[in-house]
């Protein structure tokens, strides 16, 4: 106790610390308030250390202040390498934007923009005007509006067309998308009464017809984005359903989820329903995401009949779900790329990554294996492996894309593998892979900047070596 007591007395005060040249120098970079806060915390850490019997030197406290400030300065929303093999990874921010979209977003951030201002007439305009005509041109829809994300689009459509009424959905389509987006709960919050029809695996036209009444607000068809029901199944196509509901003067809404504006089979991928097809099949409204296959920023699009879009725009909830100028600028620029489908795969990162050939990715694996091997300093085996990428974000859930990657296997399995993954996450630009059968796999499909990747490896220190 004697030792601790005298050591406590020996601890410098906050003022004494701030007068230390090495600490004073930090004020220029971080400001007095932040440095004072870090000094207080470092002194508290020192007192804790003394209490547990350690001895403390002033240099240790100074180093702690440095570390605390560096830690607090670093953004938590940091760029990472997505080598998980899931191209549109929801937890890693889904689509990476095209340079054109980035430039447009930057310009909108820096200056005032004609967001709700008609430059032609000098009078008030509408924020949807910037994308409406483009979306209509690309989808064949009569009208369109844009909101925060597709979940918001679905919520808004239900609340506008089915408030206090029934929304009819097949039991095979009552989806849950990650992050608590569950169709029955969204319906409840939207004020619609869920009317389930059919069974999990089979829903027939007569199931829908039997459920339609004066109580029906709308019929909702939901694209089963993240699962597939196989075997003894039956569903009613959107086209058939449109005929059934229109006969009764009821609206059909088709929630496509990912939805795409181009036929993916032109790019060597499996076919996913396009928005244009969903519109042509007779849905009154179609909803889809901006940051899934479309490859833009987070957004939700509602396209379809003019009178229904007008009703949606009159709903006060629309105001709460609208998008800001930055994303609107990025959306406009992204959509414009679709006017030139021939160059789309070069310019839109999502499509470029999805369309990469195995041969190209394999060649990249060959180039990157040696520097990776050097970085892990021989403790870990590095092998070129073939693997399967996924599109992600609920597009073509069963479809995988043949890919190539690097498998890192540390000796000792379990704990060593965890330490290795951690060491790659600790890099200045964290590298996120996936752990599979005792190895850390880096699927290279989504790796664009090889030089950046190699440069980053120079900071690799460890985990595995321990
Ligand atoms: C992804 C998805 C949603 C939610 O879209 P967000 O853009 O994530 O809000 C809704 N419905 C379906 C069918 C989906 O696939």
Strands 166-170 and 216-222: parallel
DSSP secondary structure letter of residue 204? -
Protein residue with its CA nearest to atom 1 in ligand 1: 257
Band (pLDDT 50/70/90 cuts) for residue 395 is: low
Would you say the CB of residue 258 lies under 6 angstroms from ligand 1? Answer: yes
How close is the Cα of 150 to the center of ligand 1, in Å? 5
pLDDT at 396 over 90: no
Q: Minimal CA–CA distance to 456: which of 425, 433, 435?
A: 425
Protein residue with its CA nearest to atom 5 in ligand 1: 150
Residue that has been written with the tokens 């690799």 in this structure: 460
* pLDDT > 90 in the chain, percent: 82
pLDDT at 161 over 80: yes
In the structure encoding, which two tokens stand for residue 1, read together?
């106790």
Q: What is the pLDDT of residue 392?
A: 86
Phi, psi of 22 (to 5 degrees): -65, -25
Higher per-residue pLDDT: 388 or 183: 388
pLDDT at 116 over 70: yes
How close is the Cα of 257 to the center of ligand 1, in Å? 4
Q: State the Cα–Cα distance between residues 150 and 298, nearest whole angstrom.
A: 9
In the chain, what is the straight-line distance between the N-terminal and C-terminal CA atoms, in Å? 36
pLDDT at 413 over 80: no
With the CA atoms of 83, 89, 93 and 99 taken in that order, what torsion angle do they form, in degrees rounded to the nearest 10?
70
pLDDT digits (tens, 9 = 90+) for 41-63: 999 999 999 999 888 899 999 99
pLDDT digits (tens, 9 = 90+) for 118-131: 999 999 999 999 99
E strand or H helix at 347, and its extent?
A: helix 341-347
Mean pLDDT (whole number) for 274-287: 97
Q: What is the pLDDT of residue 178?
A: 67
Protein residue with its CA nearest to atom 15 in ligand 1: 257
Mean pLDDT (whole number) for 367-371: 97
What does 8-75 look like in DSSP terms, one character per residue?
A: HHHSPPHHHHHHSHHHHHHHHHH-HHHHHHHHHHHHHHHHHHHHTT----HHHHHHHHHHHHHHHHS-
Mean pLDDT (whole number) for 351-377: 96
In which region does residue 36 sit, left (phi positive, over 0), alpha (psi from -120 to 50) or beta (all else)? alpha
Would you say the CB of residue 255 lies under 6 angstroms from ligand 1? Answer: yes
- Annotated domain spans of the chain: 2-73, 81-90+353-465, 99-345
In the structure encoding, which two tokens stand for residue 373, read together?
């091997």
pLDDT digits (tens, 9 = 90+) for 292-313: 999 999 999 999 999 999 999 9
Q: What is the pLDDT of residue 335?
A: 98
E strand or H helix at 429, and its extent?
A: none
Report the side by side order of strands in the sheet with 143-147: 143-147, 300-304, 285-289, 251-257, 216-222, 166-170, 193-197
Burial class (CB in 10 A: 0-12, 13-18, 19+), 74: exposed
Q: State the Cα–Cα distance between residues 296 and 410, nearest whole angstrom.
A: 38
pLDDT at 240 over 90: yes
Q: What is the mean pLDDT of the chain?
A: 92
pLDDT at 220 over 60: yes
In the structure encoding, which two tokens stand for residue 190, read together?
């939207």
Q: What is the pLDDT of residue 439?
A: 96
Q: Do 173 and 186 meet the contact criterion of CB atoms below 8 Å apart?
A: no
Distance, CA of 120 to chain centre: 36
How close is the Cα of 264 to the center of ligand 1, in Å? 19
Q: What is the pLDDT of residue 393?
A: 75
Please identify, in words, the CATH class of the domain defined by 99-345: alpha beta
pLDDT at 394 over 80: no
Q: Do 37 and 17 meet the contact criterion of CB atoms below 8 Å apart?
A: no
Mean pLDDT (whole number) for 150-167: 97
Query: b/e string for 78-101 if b means 16 or more Cβ within 10 A?
Result: eebbbbbbbbbbeebbbbbbbebb
Protein residue with its CA nearest to atom 3 in ligand 1: 257
How many helical (H) and strand (E) elements, i.e. helices and strands, does the chain have? 20, 17
Residues in the chain: 466
What separation in angstroms does the CA of 226 have from each of 177, 234, 257, 276?
Answer: 7, 18, 10, 21
Q: What is the pLDDT of residue 5?
A: 44
Q: State the Cα–Cα distance between residues 137 and 286, nearest whole angstrom.
A: 15
In the structure encoding, which two tokens stand for residue 135, read together?
């979306």
Higher per-residue pLDDT: 437 or 66: 66
Q: Do 171 and 183 meet the contact criterion of CB atoms below 8 Å apart?
A: no
Please identify, in words, the CATH class of the domain defined by 81-90+353-465: alpha beta
In which region does residue 204 sit, left (phi positive, over 0), alpha (psi from -120 to 50) or beta (all else)? beta
Q: What is the pLDDT of residue 435?
A: 95
Q: What is the pLDDT of residue 228?
A: 78
Mean pLDDT (whole number) for 273-285: 96
How close is the Cα of 219 to the center of ligand 1, in Å? 18
Mean pLDDT (whole number) for 4-12: 70
Q: What is the pLDDT of residue 441?
A: 98
pLDDT at 402 over 70: yes
pLDDT at 1 over 50: no
Atom of ligand 1 nearest to the CA of 148: 9
pLDDT at 2 over 50: no
In the structure encoding, which two tokens stand for residue 3, read together?
């030792």
Would you say the CB of residue 254 lies under 6 angstroms from ligand 1? Answer: no
3-state secondary structure of 446: helix
Q: What is the pLDDT of residue 9?
A: 81
pLDDT at 463 over 80: no
In the structure encoding, which two tokens stand for residue 38, read together?
């870090």
How close is the Cα of 282 to the center of ligand 1, in Å? 21
Mean pLDDT (whole number) for 223-234: 82
């Amino acid at each position: 106790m004697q030792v601790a007591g005298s050591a406590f007395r020996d601890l410098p005060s906050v003022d004494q610390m701030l007068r230390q040249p090495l600490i004073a120098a930090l004020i220029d970079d971080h400001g007095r308030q932040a440095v004072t806060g870090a000094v207080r915390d470092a002194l508290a850490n020192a007192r804790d250390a003394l209490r547990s019997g350690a001895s403390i030197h002033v240099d240790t406290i100074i180093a702690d202040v440095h570390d605390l400030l560096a830690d607090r300065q670093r953004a938590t929303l940091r760029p990472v390498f997505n080598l998980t093999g899931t191209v549109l990874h929801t937890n890693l921010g889904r689509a990476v934007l095209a340079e054109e979209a980035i430039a447009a977003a930057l310009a909108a951030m820096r200056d005032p923009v004609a967001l709700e201002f008609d430059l032609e007439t000098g009078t008030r305009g509408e924020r949807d005007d910037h994308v409406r005509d483009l979306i209509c041109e690309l989808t064949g829809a009569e009208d369109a509006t844009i909101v925060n994300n597709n979940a918001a689009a679905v919520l808004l459509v239900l609340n506008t067309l089915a408030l206090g009424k029934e929304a009819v959905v097949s039991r095979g389509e009552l989806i849950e998308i990650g992050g608590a987006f569950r169709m029955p709960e969204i319906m409840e919050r939207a004020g619609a009464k869920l009317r389930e029809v059919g069974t999990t695996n089979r829903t027939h036209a007569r199931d829908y017809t039997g459920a339609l009444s004066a109580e029906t607000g709308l019929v909702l068809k939901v694209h089963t984005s993240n699962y597939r029901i196989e075997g003894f199944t039956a569903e009613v196509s959107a086209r058939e359903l449109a005929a059934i509901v229109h006969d009764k003067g009821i609206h059909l809404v088709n929630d496509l989820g990912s939805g795409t504006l181009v036929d993916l089979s032109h790019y060597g991928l499996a076919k996913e329903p396009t928005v244009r097809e969903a519109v042509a099949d007779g849905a009154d409204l179609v909803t889809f995401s901006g940051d899934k296959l479309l490859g833009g920023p987070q957004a939700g699009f509602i396209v379809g009949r003019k009178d229904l879009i007008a009703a949606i725009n009159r709903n006060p909830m629309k105001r709460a779900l609208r998008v800001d100028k930055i994303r609107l600028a990025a959306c406009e620029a992204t959509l414009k790329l679709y006017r030139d489908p021939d160059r789309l795969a070069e310019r839109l990162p999502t499509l470029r990554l999805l369309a990469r050939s195995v041969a190209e990715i394999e060649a990249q694996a060959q180039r990157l294996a040696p520097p990776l091997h050097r970085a892990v300093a021989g403790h870990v085996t590095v092998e070129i492996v073939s693997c399967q990428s996924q599109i992600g974000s609920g597009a073509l859930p069963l479809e995988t894309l043949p890919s190539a990657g690097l498998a890192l296997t540390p000796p000792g399995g379990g704990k060593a593998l965890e330490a290795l993954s951690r060491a790659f996450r600790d890099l200045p630009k964290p590298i996120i892979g996936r752990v599979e059968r005792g190895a850390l796999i880096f699927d290279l499909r989504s790796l664009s900047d090889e030089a950046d990747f190699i440069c980053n490896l120079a900071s690799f220190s460890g985990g595995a070596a321990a």
